[in-house]
Amino acid sequence: MAKLTLDVVTPNGITLSDSVDSVTVEGIDGEIGILPDHIPLFTALKISVLSFKKDGVTDYMAVMGGFVDVNHNKVSVLSNAAEHASNIDVIRAKQDKEMSERHLMEKAGEEIFQRAEREVVKSLTRLKAVELLEKAGRSLKRH
């Protein structure tokens, strides 16, 4: 069976580069499943969990928005930040979520509110990626 080349790129460099069987991302218009020989596609991504399957094993990454480009069996994800679920520091993610929720409660102006709301979504996305990895029976790297 044909494979996809998956590259996840952030300003810090390549976060992931691998040959995979399928990729699932959440675009701004909904979830997109990508298999080999997918039609060309370019769309914006939501802050969400990206999943990919390789040799029957599904893995997860928290992606902080960005874009996906699909062309000739290559899936390129460009994002400001992306973390492999197994590398997420759960304690830090929970602390970030709580701090952002406190900022939301303060309602200290529209700009701060929007930033805090975005940080809550990022933290929840990280925690969801970890939860999916654990449900798949895979363990985390402990920090």
Asked if residue 77 and residue 14 are part of one domain, the reply reads yes
Contact 83, 61 (CB under 8 A): yes
Q: What is the CATH number of the domain that holds 40?
A: 2.60.15.10
Residue 140 lies in a domain: no
Please choose, from the candidates 76, 77, 75, the residue with its C-alpha nearest in 3D space to the C-alpha of residue 66.
77
* Residue 101, amino acid: E
Asked if residue 96 and residue 80 are part of one domain, the reply reads no
Residue 32 lies in a domain: yes
Per-residue tens of pLDDT for the chain, all 143 residues: 799 999 999 999 999 999 999 999 999 999 999 999 999 999 999 999 999 999 999 999 999 999 999 999 999 999 999 999 888 887 888 887 787 777 666 666 667 777 777 888 888 888 899 889 888 877 655 44
Asked if residue 124 and residue 80 are part of one domain, the reply reads no
Residue 54 lies in a domain: yes
Q: Which domain holds residue 114?
A: 89-135
Q: Which residues contact 11 (CB under 8 A, 6 or more apart)?
A: 80
Q: Tell me if the pTM is above 0.85.
A: no
Residue 141 lies in a domain: no
* Residue 105, amino acid: M
Residue 143 lies in a domain: no
Place of tokens 């809550």: 120
Residue 94 lies in a domain: yes
